[in-house]
Protein backbone atom coordinates (compact mmCIF):
# COMPACT_ATOMS: atom_id res chain seq x y z
CA UNK A 1 0.00 0.00 0.00
CA UNK A 2 1.51 3.26 -1.10
CA UNK A 3 1.30 6.47 0.87
CA UNK A 4 0.84 9.74 -0.91
CA UNK A 5 2.90 12.51 0.71
CA UNK A 6 1.33 15.92 0.55
CA UNK A 7 3.94 18.54 -0.39
CA UNK A 8 4.46 21.11 2.34
CA UNK A 9 4.60 24.76 1.36
CA UNK A 10 8.08 26.13 1.48
CA UNK A 11 8.60 28.64 4.22
CA UNK A 12 10.49 31.78 3.44
CA UNK A 13 13.93 32.08 4.93
CA UNK A 14 14.10 34.03 8.15
CA UNK A 15 16.61 36.45 6.70
CA UNK A 16 14.00 37.69 4.19
CA UNK A 17 11.92 38.98 7.10
CA UNK A 18 14.93 40.93 8.30
CA UNK A 19 15.41 42.44 4.84
CA UNK A 20 11.74 43.35 4.60
CA UNK A 21 11.80 44.98 8.02
CA UNK A 22 14.89 46.99 7.13
CA UNK A 23 13.38 48.14 3.84
CA UNK A 24 10.13 49.24 5.50
CA UNK A 25 12.06 51.13 8.18
CA UNK A 26 14.21 52.82 5.51
CA UNK A 27 11.17 53.94 3.54
CA UNK A 28 9.51 55.20 6.72
CA UNK A 29 12.49 57.29 7.80
CA UNK A 30 12.85 58.72 4.28
CA UNK A 31 9.20 59.75 4.30
CA UNK A 32 9.66 61.44 7.68
CA UNK A 33 12.73 63.30 6.43
CA UNK A 34 10.97 64.44 3.27
CA UNK A 35 7.90 65.57 5.22
CA UNK A 36 9.88 67.81 7.55
CA UNK A 37 12.62 69.01 5.18
CA UNK A 38 10.54 69.58 2.05
CA UNK A 39 8.80 72.84 3.14
CA UNK A 40 12.15 74.41 4.06
CA UNK A 41 14.01 73.11 1.02
CA UNK A 42 11.35 74.41 -1.38
CA UNK A 43 10.59 77.69 0.41
CA UNK A 44 11.00 80.95 -1.50
CA UNK A 45 11.62 84.34 0.09
CA UNK A 46 9.09 86.37 -1.83
CA UNK A 47 5.69 88.06 -1.76
CA UNK A 48 5.96 89.18 1.85
CA UNK A 49 2.95 91.46 2.54
CA UNK A 50 4.27 94.89 3.58
CA UNK A 51 2.66 98.33 3.63
CA UNK A 52 4.37 101.45 2.27
CA UNK A 53 3.81 105.17 2.83
CA UNK A 54 5.29 107.65 0.36
CA UNK A 55 5.17 109.06 -3.13
CA UNK A 56 5.36 106.68 -6.06
CA UNK A 57 8.75 108.10 -7.10
CA UNK A 58 10.10 107.38 -3.62
CA UNK A 59 8.69 103.87 -3.67
CA UNK A 60 10.22 103.19 -7.08
CA UNK A 61 13.60 104.49 -5.92
CA UNK A 62 13.55 102.11 -2.94
CA UNK A 63 12.28 99.01 -4.71
CA UNK A 64 14.29 99.22 -7.93
CA UNK A 65 17.35 97.72 -6.25
CA UNK A 66 15.41 94.96 -4.47
CA UNK A 67 15.02 91.43 -5.83
CA UNK A 68 11.88 91.06 -7.91
CA UNK A 69 8.79 89.81 -6.04
CA UNK A 70 10.55 90.15 -2.68
CA UNK A 71 7.79 92.30 -1.21
CA UNK A 72 4.07 92.54 -1.84
CA UNK A 73 3.54 96.26 -1.27
CA UNK A 74 0.23 97.70 -0.07
CA UNK A 75 0.04 101.53 -0.16
CA UNK A 76 -1.12 103.26 3.02
CA UNK A 77 -1.90 106.90 3.74
CA UNK A 78 -0.07 107.30 7.04
CA UNK A 79 2.24 105.66 9.56
CA UNK A 80 -0.72 105.10 11.86
CA UNK A 81 -2.41 102.99 9.19
CA UNK A 82 0.75 100.91 8.90
CA UNK A 83 0.82 100.29 12.64
CA UNK A 84 -2.84 99.27 12.64
CA UNK A 85 -2.22 96.86 9.76
CA UNK A 86 0.65 95.24 11.64
CA UNK A 87 -1.31 94.90 14.89
CA UNK A 88 -4.27 93.33 13.10
CA UNK A 89 -1.87 90.91 11.32
CA UNK A 90 -2.82 92.06 7.84
CA UNK A 91 0.87 92.65 7.02
CA UNK A 92 4.25 91.75 8.51
CA UNK A 93 5.67 95.29 8.50
CA UNK A 94 5.81 98.63 6.76
CA UNK A 95 8.07 101.14 5.05
CA UNK A 96 7.58 104.85 5.73
CA UNK A 97 9.33 107.16 3.25
CA UNK A 98 9.89 110.89 3.41
CA UNK A 99 12.06 113.25 5.44
CA UNK A 100 12.35 110.67 8.24
CA UNK A 101 12.38 107.19 6.64
CA UNK A 102 11.42 104.32 8.91
CA UNK A 103 11.03 100.55 8.78
CA UNK A 104 8.26 99.09 10.95
CA UNK A 105 8.53 95.42 11.89
CA UNK A 106 6.80 92.90 14.16
CA UNK A 107 9.19 90.25 15.43
CA UNK A 108 6.28 88.60 17.27
CA UNK A 109 4.58 87.91 13.93
CA UNK A 110 7.67 86.34 12.35
CA UNK A 111 11.32 86.76 13.37
CA UNK A 112 12.26 85.71 9.83
CA UNK A 113 10.19 88.51 8.26
CA UNK A 114 11.48 91.01 10.80
CA UNK A 115 15.07 90.12 9.98
CA UNK A 116 14.38 90.43 6.26
CA UNK A 117 12.89 93.90 6.69
CA UNK A 118 15.92 94.92 8.73
CA UNK A 119 17.98 93.95 5.70
CA UNK A 120 15.79 96.21 3.56
CA UNK A 121 16.65 99.03 5.97
CA UNK A 122 20.35 98.42 5.36
CA UNK A 123 19.87 98.68 1.60
CA UNK A 124 17.80 101.86 1.98
CA UNK A 125 20.45 103.49 4.15
CA UNK A 126 23.18 102.58 1.68
CA UNK A 127 21.18 104.12 -1.16
CA UNK A 128 20.58 107.34 0.79
CA UNK A 129 24.25 107.65 1.68
CA UNK A 130 25.24 107.15 -1.95
CA UNK A 131 22.82 109.87 -3.06
CA UNK A 132 24.22 112.29 -0.49
CA UNK A 133 27.79 111.58 -1.53
CA UNK A 134 26.90 112.04 -5.20
CA UNK A 135 25.16 115.34 -4.39
CA UNK A 136 28.15 116.60 -2.44
CA UNK A 137 30.49 115.73 -5.29
CA UNK A 138 28.32 117.62 -7.77
CA UNK A 139 28.14 120.64 -5.47
CA UNK A 140 31.90 120.68 -5.00
CA UNK A 141 32.42 120.49 -8.74
CA UNK A 142 30.11 123.47 -9.24
CA UNK A 143 31.93 125.43 -6.55
CA UNK A 144 35.27 124.59 -8.14
CA UNK A 145 34.13 125.66 -11.62
CA UNK A 146 32.57 128.86 -10.24
CA UNK A 147 35.71 129.81 -8.36
CA UNK A 148 37.80 129.80 -11.58
CA UNK A 149 36.24 133.05 -12.83
CA UNK A 150 37.69 134.81 -15.88
CA UNK A 151 40.47 137.19 -14.92
CA UNK A 152 40.94 135.50 -11.51
CA UNK A 153 44.29 134.08 -10.53
CA UNK A 154 42.95 131.07 -8.66
CA UNK A 155 43.08 127.59 -10.09
CA UNK A 156 40.51 124.82 -9.62
CA UNK A 157 41.43 122.28 -7.00
CA UNK A 158 42.83 124.70 -4.42
CA UNK A 159 40.24 124.58 -1.59
CA UNK A 160 37.18 124.86 -3.79
CA UNK A 161 38.75 127.33 -6.29
CA UNK A 162 40.07 129.99 -3.84
CA UNK A 163 42.37 132.51 -5.54
CA UNK A 164 45.96 132.95 -4.56
CA UNK A 165 46.09 136.75 -4.88
CA UNK A 166 44.34 139.20 -2.55
CA UNK A 167 41.70 140.45 -4.94
CA UNK A 168 40.45 137.01 -5.87
CA UNK A 169 40.46 135.98 -2.22
CA UNK A 170 38.30 138.92 -1.27
CA UNK A 171 35.80 138.12 -4.00
CA UNK A 172 35.60 134.49 -2.99
CA UNK A 173 35.13 135.43 0.66
CA UNK A 174 32.36 137.90 -0.20
CA UNK A 175 30.60 135.24 -2.30
CA UNK A 176 30.88 132.68 0.50
CA UNK A 177 29.47 135.10 3.04
CA UNK A 178 26.52 135.86 0.82
CA UNK A 179 25.86 132.18 0.31
CA UNK A 180 26.01 131.56 4.06
CA UNK A 181 23.50 134.35 4.67
CA UNK A 182 21.10 132.93 2.10
CA UNK A 183 21.16 129.48 3.70
CA UNK A 184 21.20 130.58 7.33
CA UNK A 185 17.54 130.04 8.00
CA UNK A 186 16.93 127.25 5.50
CA UNK A 187 17.27 123.47 5.88
CA UNK A 188 20.16 121.96 4.01
CA UNK A 189 19.31 119.73 1.08
CA UNK A 190 20.45 116.10 1.41
CA UNK A 191 23.00 116.56 -1.34
CA UNK A 192 24.37 119.88 -0.16
CA UNK A 193 27.89 120.11 1.27
CA UNK A 194 27.81 119.45 5.00
CA UNK A 195 24.27 118.01 4.91
CA UNK A 196 23.61 115.11 7.28
CA UNK A 197 22.00 112.15 5.51
CA UNK A 198 18.78 110.94 7.16
CA UNK A 199 19.06 107.75 9.17
CA UNK A 200 16.55 105.00 8.41
CA UNK A 201 14.97 104.11 11.74
CA UNK A 202 13.78 100.60 12.62
CA UNK A 203 10.84 100.22 15.03
CA UNK A 204 9.62 96.87 16.31
CA UNK A 205 5.90 97.56 16.71
CA UNK A 206 5.10 94.19 18.32
CA UNK A 207 8.28 92.79 19.89
CA UNK A 208 8.72 89.34 21.36
CA UNK A 209 8.79 88.89 25.11
CA UNK A 210 12.02 88.91 27.08
CA UNK A 211 11.47 85.23 27.93
CA UNK A 212 11.47 84.29 24.23
CA UNK A 213 13.47 87.07 22.51
CA UNK A 214 14.13 85.12 19.30
CA UNK A 215 10.71 83.50 18.99
CA UNK A 216 12.16 79.99 18.95
CA UNK A 217 9.99 78.84 21.85
CA UNK A 218 6.74 79.83 20.18
CA UNK A 219 7.83 78.10 16.97
CA UNK A 220 8.97 74.91 18.69
CA UNK A 221 5.84 74.76 20.87
CA UNK A 222 3.83 73.65 17.86
CA UNK A 223 5.52 70.23 17.78
CA UNK A 224 4.66 69.12 21.35
CA UNK A 225 1.13 70.42 20.90
CA UNK A 226 0.79 68.38 17.71
CA UNK A 227 2.26 65.30 19.35
CA UNK A 228 0.09 65.87 22.40
CA UNK A 229 -3.08 65.76 20.36
CA UNK A 230 -1.85 62.71 18.46
CA UNK A 231 -0.78 60.79 21.57
CA UNK A 232 -4.06 61.60 23.29
CA UNK A 233 -6.04 60.31 20.33
CA UNK A 234 -4.01 57.08 20.15
CA UNK A 235 -4.36 56.35 23.89
CA UNK A 236 -8.08 57.09 23.97
CA UNK A 237 -8.58 54.85 20.93
CA UNK A 238 -6.71 51.95 22.53
CA UNK A 239 -7.74 52.25 26.19
CA UNK A 240 -11.37 53.43 26.01
CA UNK A 241 -14.34 51.64 24.45
CA UNK A 242 -17.82 52.91 23.69
CA UNK A 243 -18.89 56.07 21.95
CA UNK A 244 -19.95 57.95 25.08
CA UNK A 245 -16.76 57.09 26.91
CA UNK A 246 -14.77 58.15 23.85
CA UNK A 247 -16.45 61.55 23.74
CA UNK A 248 -16.13 62.03 27.50
CA UNK A 249 -12.42 61.16 27.38
CA UNK A 250 -11.83 63.62 24.52
CA UNK A 251 -13.60 66.42 26.40
CA UNK A 252 -11.70 65.77 29.64
CA UNK A 253 -8.42 65.52 27.79
CA UNK A 254 -9.04 68.87 26.11
CA UNK A 255 -9.75 70.58 29.46
CA UNK A 256 -7.03 68.95 31.56
CA UNK A 257 -4.44 68.85 28.79
CA UNK A 258 -5.09 72.48 27.86
CA UNK A 259 -4.65 73.67 31.46
CA UNK A 260 -1.50 71.61 31.95
CA UNK A 261 0.22 72.47 28.65
CA UNK A 262 -0.62 76.17 28.90
CA UNK A 263 0.67 76.15 32.47
CA UNK A 264 4.01 74.77 31.30
CA UNK A 265 4.33 76.98 28.21
CA UNK A 266 3.29 80.16 30.02
CA UNK A 267 4.05 79.62 33.69
CA UNK A 268 7.30 77.67 33.41
CA UNK A 269 8.91 78.84 30.15
CA UNK A 270 7.14 82.16 29.55
CA UNK A 271 6.55 81.33 25.88
CA UNK A 272 2.87 82.26 25.88
CA UNK A 273 1.70 85.73 26.97
CA UNK A 274 -1.51 87.49 27.97
CA UNK A 275 -4.44 85.66 29.61
CA UNK A 276 -3.62 82.18 30.86
CA UNK A 277 -7.15 80.80 30.66
CA UNK A 278 -7.57 82.01 27.07
CA UNK A 279 -4.32 80.25 26.14
CA UNK A 280 -5.43 77.12 28.01
CA UNK A 281 -8.76 77.10 26.15
CA UNK A 282 -7.02 77.48 22.77
CA UNK A 283 -4.47 74.78 23.61
CA UNK A 284 -7.16 72.41 24.82
CA UNK A 285 -9.28 73.00 21.73
CA UNK A 286 -6.30 72.24 19.50
CA UNK A 287 -5.30 68.95 21.14
CA UNK A 288 -8.93 67.87 21.49
CA UNK A 289 -9.51 68.51 17.77
CA UNK A 290 -6.55 66.32 16.81
CA UNK A 291 -7.47 63.60 19.30
CA UNK A 292 -11.11 63.50 18.16
CA UNK A 293 -10.15 63.05 14.50
CA UNK A 294 -7.84 60.14 15.35
CA UNK A 295 -10.46 58.52 17.61
CA UNK A 296 -13.11 58.99 14.94
CA UNK A 297 -10.97 57.46 12.19
CA UNK A 298 -10.14 54.52 14.44
CA UNK A 299 -13.82 54.00 15.19
CA UNK A 300 -14.73 54.15 11.52
CA UNK A 301 -11.99 52.11 9.81
CA UNK A 302 -10.17 50.42 12.68
CA UNK A 303 -6.46 50.52 13.50
CA UNK A 304 -5.45 51.97 10.12
CA UNK A 305 -7.40 55.07 11.13
CA UNK A 306 -4.82 55.78 13.83
CA UNK A 307 -2.07 55.79 11.21
CA UNK A 308 -4.10 58.00 8.88
CA UNK A 309 -4.75 60.52 11.64
CA UNK A 310 -1.10 60.54 12.71
CA UNK A 311 0.11 61.10 9.15
CA UNK A 312 -2.42 63.88 8.57
CA UNK A 313 -1.37 65.64 11.76
CA UNK A 314 2.35 65.03 12.12
CA UNK A 315 3.65 64.59 8.57
CA UNK A 316 1.29 66.85 6.64
CA UNK A 317 -0.18 69.46 8.99
CA UNK A 318 2.87 70.23 11.11
CA UNK A 319 5.48 70.81 8.35
CA UNK A 320 3.27 73.29 6.47
CA UNK A 321 1.87 74.99 9.57
CA UNK A 322 4.15 78.04 8.99
CA UNK A 323 5.15 78.20 12.65
CA UNK A 324 8.80 78.87 11.77
CA UNK A 325 8.41 81.05 8.67
CA UNK A 326 5.75 83.16 6.94
CA UNK A 327 3.16 81.12 5.07
CA UNK A 328 3.96 83.14 1.94
CA UNK A 329 7.41 81.55 1.82
CA UNK A 330 6.01 78.00 1.62
CA UNK A 331 5.41 76.69 -1.89
CA UNK A 332 1.85 77.64 -2.94
CA UNK A 333 -0.79 76.50 -2.24
CA UNK A 334 0.56 74.43 0.66
CA UNK A 335 1.28 77.44 2.85
CA UNK A 336 -2.37 78.48 2.72
CA UNK A 337 -3.60 74.90 3.14
CA UNK A 338 -1.46 74.50 6.24
CA UNK A 339 -3.26 77.42 7.89
CA UNK A 340 -6.49 75.41 7.93
CA UNK A 341 -5.10 72.19 9.36
CA UNK A 342 -5.06 71.80 13.14
CA UNK A 343 -1.34 72.56 13.78
CA UNK A 344 -1.45 75.76 11.73
CA UNK A 345 -4.74 76.87 13.29
CA UNK A 346 -3.51 76.25 16.83
CA UNK A 347 -0.23 78.07 16.22
CA UNK A 348 -1.97 81.12 14.75
CA UNK A 349 -4.49 81.33 17.60
CA UNK A 350 -1.83 81.07 20.31
CA UNK A 351 0.41 83.65 18.62
CA UNK A 352 -2.43 86.11 18.21
CA UNK A 353 -3.68 85.64 21.77
CA UNK A 354 -0.19 86.28 23.09
CA UNK A 355 0.85 89.25 20.96
CA UNK A 356 -1.94 90.46 18.66
CA UNK A 357 -5.14 91.07 20.65
CA UNK A 358 -6.50 93.24 17.81
CA UNK A 359 -6.31 90.42 15.27
CA UNK A 360 -9.50 88.64 14.26
CA UNK A 361 -9.18 84.93 15.13
CA UNK A 362 -12.86 84.00 14.88
CA UNK A 363 -12.27 82.09 11.65
CA UNK A 364 -9.48 80.01 13.19
CA UNK A 365 -11.55 79.24 16.30
CA UNK A 366 -14.50 78.06 14.23
CA UNK A 367 -12.20 75.98 12.06
CA UNK A 368 -10.81 74.18 15.14
CA UNK A 369 -14.37 73.60 16.35
CA UNK A 370 -15.11 72.17 12.90
CA UNK A 371 -12.24 69.68 13.19
CA UNK A 372 -13.47 68.71 16.66
CA UNK A 373 -17.00 68.24 15.34
CA UNK A 374 -15.68 66.15 12.44
CA UNK A 375 -13.98 63.80 14.89
CA UNK A 376 -17.17 63.49 16.94
CA UNK A 377 -19.20 62.69 13.81
CA UNK A 378 -16.70 60.05 12.71
CA UNK A 379 -16.75 58.53 16.19
CA UNK A 380 -20.56 58.27 16.21
CA UNK A 381 -20.65 56.88 12.65
CA UNK A 382 -18.01 54.30 13.52
CA UNK A 383 -19.97 53.24 16.60
CA UNK A 384 -23.18 52.72 14.61
CA UNK A 385 -21.24 50.87 11.91
CA UNK A 386 -19.79 48.47 14.45
CA UNK A 387 -23.18 47.91 16.08
CA UNK A 388 -24.74 47.13 12.71
CA UNK A 389 -21.95 44.67 11.94
CA UNK A 390 -22.49 42.93 15.32
CA UNK A 391 -26.25 42.62 14.74
CA UNK A 392 -25.67 41.17 11.29
CA UNK A 393 -23.22 38.64 12.70
CA UNK A 394 -25.62 37.59 15.48
CA UNK A 395 -28.55 37.37 13.08
pLDDT higher at 119 or 15? 119
Q: Provide mean pLDDT across the span 3-9.
A: 59
Please state the rounded mean pLDDT for residues 26-55.
Answer: 90
> How large a percentage of the chain has pLDDT more than 90?
61
Q: Strand 93-96 vs strand 102-105: parallel, antiparallel, or unpaired?
A: antiparallel
pLDDT at 250 over 90: yes
Helix (H, G, I), strand (E, B) or coil at 296: helix
User: Residue 167 burial by CB count (10 A; 0-12/13-18/19+): exposed, middle or buried?
Assistant: exposed
- What are the C-alpha distances in Å from 50 to residues 91, 146, 292? 5, 46, 38
How many other CB atoms sit within 10 Å of the CB of residue 210? 7
Question: What does the pLDDT read at residue 195?
Answer: 60
Q: Which of 373, 318, 304, 310 is nearest to 347 (CA)?
A: 318
Higher-confidence residue of 68 and 374: namely 374
Average pLDDT for residues 117-140, to the nearest whole number?
84
pTM: 0.81
What pLDDT shows up at residue 67?
A: 86
Best mean pLDDT range from 14-18, 286-290, 320-324: 286-290
CA 145/CA 163 separation, integer angstroms: 12
pLDDT recorded at residue 377? 97
Instruction: Say yes or no to pLDDT of 166 above 80.
Output: no
Amino acid sequence: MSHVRTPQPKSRPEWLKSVRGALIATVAVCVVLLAFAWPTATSRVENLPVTVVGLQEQVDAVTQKMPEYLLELHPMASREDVVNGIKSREVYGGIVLGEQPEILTASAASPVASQMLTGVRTNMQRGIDQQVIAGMQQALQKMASGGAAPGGAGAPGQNGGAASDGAASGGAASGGAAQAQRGAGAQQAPGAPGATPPTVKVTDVVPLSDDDPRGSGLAIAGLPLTMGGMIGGVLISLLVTGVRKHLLAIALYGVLGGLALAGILQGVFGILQANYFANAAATGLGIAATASVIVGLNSLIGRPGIAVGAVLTMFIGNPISALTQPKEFILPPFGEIGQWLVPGLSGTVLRDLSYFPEANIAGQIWALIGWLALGVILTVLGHHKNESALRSAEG
